[in-house]
Amino acid sequence: MRFWFLILLLLPMPLLAQPSINEGEPVYLEADQMGYDQKNGLVIARNNVRVTQGNSILYADRIVYFQNQNVVQADGNVRVWDPVKRETYYADQVVLREDMSAGVIEQFRIRMSDNSQFAAARATRVSETQTNLDKAVYSPCEICEGKSPFWQIKADEIEVDEEEEKIWYEDLTLEFFGLPVAYSPYFMHPTPGASRKSGLLKPTYSQSSNLGTAIKLPYYLNIAPDKDATITPFFTSEEGLVMEGEYRQRTNEGAYQVNTSFTNPHKRDDTGQQIPGRDFRGYIQARGDDKFSDHWGYGFDVARATDDTYLRRYDYGYQKSLNSELYTQGLFDRNYIRAQALAFQGLDENDDPALEPFVLPRVSGYYETDPIKGNLRAFTSGNIQVITRDEGAKTRRVSGTSGLKLPVITGGGHRFDNQVSLRTDLYSTEDHTLSGGQRYDGEDVRLVPQVSTRWRYPLMKVYEDSTMTIEPTVLAVAKPNGINPDEIVNEDNQIVEFSDSNIFDPNPMPGSDTIDEGSRVAYGMTGTWLANAGQEVAFLLGQSFSVNPDTPFPYNDEQDEHLSDYVGRFVLDYDPFSVGYRFRLNREDFSPNSQTVSSTFRYNPLMLRVDYIKLDDDQFLNDREELLLAGRLALTDEWSVNGSARRDLYTGTSTIAGFGVVYQNECFGLSTQFARSFIRDRDIEPDTSITLRVAFKNINEL
């Protein structure tokens, strides 16, 4: 026969940490047999004892409450379920005393919400937030009966501090499959699910030809809730100590981040050989953004290095240049104003620092009215730019464009985007070398009237499980010829490309100094098939006809040609394939002048990626042909292999190749990567490296 009573006292559960229960709620005790000794102040419950407070439940074979001593003792198969933390606690015997805030637990075990487990011969509850474990074991790995876990920590004493969210070990041994592999007199790591804490992060070991043996030991600093930092000593046998640092901070409306690295190695000549003396080397990158108000904000992205090869030599990337920007901007619906300062650092061997431009200020803005009549809108845009450099041309530009926009949609679904505008450019130039070799200083004015209209006719067909859209498009642009005089320096259109992204743009040039002059007509078609299941097929195909073939924009690879190459793209996203193909085909024989392929195949357990680019007779990027292959194969649930290689097919040389083996289970990760770089640049020799990373769950990153 079952008995239950309402206990009008708080009966805290014998947990590693006090469960998250409502101390104002009553406690219900339920058992097969119940007894009360009023004279001695004893409450005894036996057989299938169950104590409930809120959603927390305690089970035991017997519970005795000593009222006079304010002691609770639970015996036999004691277990507690904490629904808030989703944790279960086990013990053979529990004794709680001193207003239930302290006690002793024999043969203690706990399974945490992330399946991490503690076990101890005895657990002593010192306070509501601190528990000491004697002869204890900790492991976050799955534990099967009769088998040792993948890894575990054994310690003579473990102190669990829930308030500090830290676990302290004394005289500990790290075991793999029950075999000891490492010993330490002292160790600490955060509790499972703890908030971020200062401490060591995952170390990295590597071996390379350029740096020799290298070890990274990152240390994380939890400065405040809104900011943190990481300091990483980077020890190398060939280059000595390299120090890395990272600082991050969040604000109410933005964030800041600073990354830096520096060292003081032996000097090297251009062939990479050591010479007497030392040479400070390093870099810094700082980026961030924030707001002054709902509409106004500012930001920065600054990157500088002490020399051209530092980043590549110390494995921080293969950048060709470092670009820096400071800006402030105001955003008002479709209107904006933005002021910038720009600086550049070329890292190529042929870059001349004296020719690198410094831009201050660069101000641009755009304003568009609400509809004046019908859909007619007026707009104006402008920019101011001042460029200085130690040597070479210095320019000052003021440019403004004003005009009218009139979008029209007919009853039959035809859409016309009509625009008329007048652009005015004012230039002041110093030290500009003209095409004939003469030095030019002077001022120039340029007026560019333009009229354009773009017609689109979207056609849609809805099927049972998909939708098809076809949209023929025609763009007509009229503007004068001869609007690119030699006296105007081309600063911001050094590299331009005719492609699917700008064929239907009235102003395909990305910058302002040179203009696609003359009248032209572009025509083509776009289409999309979209299935309800998420599959997609899309395409674009187009061509342009220029009335004046003498334009600085590269519509084809030959002079005096009115018709452009065919440009287009094809996109397929149909599981397990994802393919993107962009092309520019010769207008006469359809041979490819430009091709870019990006494709991915994912079908468990295999992932493959193929990227390919080929350029023929490109006026700005020259001839190129590159191939990237990458893949990953999962051999089992834990083991996988990966590899990648990039090859310059134009020169017949490889640039980089790598191969890796990764093991990862629920509580441990091991990654081994082999890489070969074939790049040779001044003090950088072709390099072979081996990198090893080890991760333990709840101790460092997994």
pLDDT tens-place string over residues 661-681: 999 999 999 999 999 988 888
Backbone φ/ψ region at 54: left (φ over 0), alpha (ψ -120 to 50), beta: left
Residue 24's pLDDT band (boundaries 50, 70, 90)? low
Q: Could you tell me the maximum CA-CA distance found in the chain, to the nearest angstrom?
A: 117
The answer to whether the CB of 153 falls within 8 A of the CB of 164 is no
Domains of the chain: residue spans and CATH: 1-111 (2.60.450)
Q: Closest by alpha carbon to 569, among 623, 499, 504?
A: 499
What is the spatial distance between Cα 565 and Cα 389, in angstroms, rounded to a whole number?
37
Q: What is the pLDDT of residue 115?
A: 79
The SS3 call for residue 600 is strand
Mean pLDDT, rounded, for 496-525: 93
Least confident of 74-78, 108-112, 601-605: 108-112
Binned at pLDDT 50, 70 and 90, residue 93 comes out as confident
Question: Which pLDDT score is estimated for 268?
Answer: 80
Where is mean pLDDT largest: 44-58, 74-88, 193-207, 531-545? 531-545
Beta bridge partners of 497: none
**What residue type is 159 in one-letter code?**
E
CB neighbourhood size of 622 (10 A): 10
Condensed to tens digits (0 to 9), the pLDDT of residues 234-275 reads 999 988 999 999 999 999 999 999 999 999 998 887 777 788
- In 3D space, the residue among 258, 277, 256, 259 whose CA is nearest the CA of residue 268 turns out to be 277
Strands, E, within 98-129: which ranges?
102-111, 117-125
**Helix count (H) and strand count (E) of the chain?**
1, 44
Residue 340: name the closest of 385, 390, 389 by CA: 385
Whole-number Å distance between alpha carbons of 345 and 325: 12
Radius of gyration of the chain (CA): 35
Judge whether 596 and 572 are in contact, CB under 8 Å: no
17: pLDDT strictly greater than 50: no
Answer yes or no: is pLDDT of 561 > 50. yes
pLDDT of residue 702: 57
- Could you identify the residue written with the tokens 């002054």? 292
For residue 54, give the DSSP letter. T
Secondary structure (DSSP) of 258-320 = EEEEEE--EEE-TTS-EEEEE--EEEEEEEEEEESSSSEEEEEEEEEESSSSHHHHTTS---S
Q: What is the mean pLDDT of residues 296-321?
A: 92
Distances (CA, A) of 211 to 152, 208, 284, 314: 34, 6, 20, 8
> 329-352: b or e for each residue (b if 16 or more CB lie within 10 Å)?
beeeeebebebbbbbbbbbeeeee
pLDDT tens per residue, range 142-158? 888 778 899 999 999 99
- pLDDT > 70: percent of the chain: 94
Cα–Cα distance measured from residue 348 to residue 307, given in angstroms and rounded to the nearest whole number: 10
**Total residues found in the chain within this entry:** 702
CB–CB of 514/552 below 8 Å? yes
> Would you say residue 97 has pLDDT above 70?
no
Yes or no: say if 526 and 520 are a contact pair by the CB < 8 Å rule. Answer: no
Query: In the numeric block, which tokens belong to residue 579?
Result: 């393919």
pLDDT band at 594; cut points 50, 70, 90 = very high
What 230-234 contacts at long range (C-beta under 8 Å, 24+ apart), as own/partner pairs, is 230/201, 234/261, 234/314
Tens digits of residue pLDDT in 377-393: 999 999 999 999 999 99
Q: Which of 76-85, 210-219, 499-508, 533-542 has the lowest mean pLDDT?
A: 76-85
Reply yes or no: is the peptide bond before residue 605 cis, omega within 30 of 0: yes
Mean pLDDT of the chain: 88
123-133 pLDDT per residue, tens: 887 777 788 89
CA dist., res. 54 & res. 81, Å (int) = 11
Task: Report the candidate in 682, 621, 626 with the shortest Cα–Cα distance to residue 655.
Answer: 626
For 7, counting Cβ atoms within 10 Å of its Cβ (0-12 exposed, 13-18 middle, 19+ buried), the class is middle
Task: Check residues 689 and 101 and name the one with the higher pLDDT.
Answer: 689
pLDDT of residue 16: 38
| Per-residue pLDDT at 73 | 82
Which carries the bigger pLDDT value, residue 6 or residue 349?
349
Q: First-to-last CA distance in the chain?
A: 51
CB 397 within 8 A of CB 384: yes
Rounded Cα distance, 201 and 196, in Å:
12
Which tokens sit at 202? Answer: 């995952």
Segment 550-555 mean pLDDT: 83
What average pLDDT does the segment 624-636 reach?
95
- With CA atoms as reference, report the closest residue to 92 among 133, 57, 122, 127: 122
pLDDT attached to residue 687: 87
Query: Following DSSP, what letter does each residue of 237-256 receive, concatenated?
Result: TTTEEEEEEEEEEE-SS-EE
- Closest by CA position to 81, among listed 46, 120, 50: 50
Distance separating alpha carbons of residues 30 and 665, to the nearest angstrom: 42
